[in-house]
Chain A
Amino acid sequence: MDSISLIGMASVVTAGLTVAIGSIGPSLGEGRSVAQALSSIAQQPDETNNITRTLFVGLAMIESTAIYCFVVAMILIFANPFWDHVIAK
């Protein structure tokens, strides 16, 4: 197998694995935090504004790990430096 097809295969497979595995953790975390926030709102409806704002900020923090994985996958597919190097040769 020459290096072009090897690099292409490796990057596509790795990109899929990156998103698949990288989304497990953040989704579990987001589910937990939303469930907790909902039960808190049910207990204290007066504090809805505070809880919602903190929830959004926290969700953004949690989500950023998934976004990192997505960006890495996008780099692997669309802007892969190794692929460019092999093609340019």
Chain B
Amino acid sequence: MQFSRWQNLLEILVKGMQNQIKDISHQETGIYLPFAGTLFLFIAVCNLLSIVPGYTPPTASLSTTAALAICVFAAVPLYGILNRGLLGYLRQYIRPTMFMLPFNIMGELSRTLALAVRLFGNMMSGAKIGAILLAIAPLFFPIIMHALGLLTGLIQAYIFAVLAMVYIASATRAQQERGQKQEKKQEEKGEKSNG
């Protein structure tokens, strides 16, 4: 059976993303793949398109990156509640003690801001550096920086998707660890009773 090129490409992409998600979250990838995969593909294409002359990548605008970060901000509690129930999700805010509540909420907000500003800063700095170098040392040196910018863009897309996945995994993981511990205990009990 002959696979077309496009099918090969898509399979590599989807399979690679599935493996990454599985490594990070130690869970079934089914419900995470659409979200994280879309983030990665969108940002990667945006960043790579910066190679077209005269085209400012959408991710070099704070509005786009803020919108993407807000998507992550909304998706984390969504997946958390889906996985652990409303109370189970809310309980992680008062962990380990009640006093950590304001810090947990602040952490949630500040990491959203960091997500937006990081992507925006990286992409904008790429465009700005290209423009400045074009003015002071034209034609050859800017090309090298631009090639470096392509690498940075792809890494930034990867980092954005991985960080979103890490946040989601941290919101969904605790219950699963408890489940694993119980399983281990049961296994130990079973071994003892068997032995």
Contact = CB atoms under 8 A, between A and B. Distances in A.
Interface in B87-118: 114, 117-118
Interface in A47-86: 49-50, 53, 56-57, 60-61, 63-64, 67-68, 70-71, 74
B78 interface: no
B101 to A, nearest CB: 23
Interface residues of B, number: 19
The SS class assigned to the A binding surface is helix
A57 B114 CA distance: 13
Contacts of A67: 117-118, 121-122, 125
Contacts of A53: 20, 23-24, 162
Contacts of B122: 67
The SS class assigned to the B binding surface is helix
B118 A57 contact: no
Contacts of B24: 53
Contact of A56 (B23, B121, B128, B155): B155
B159 interface: yes
Given A67-B117, A68-B117, A56 B158 contact: yes
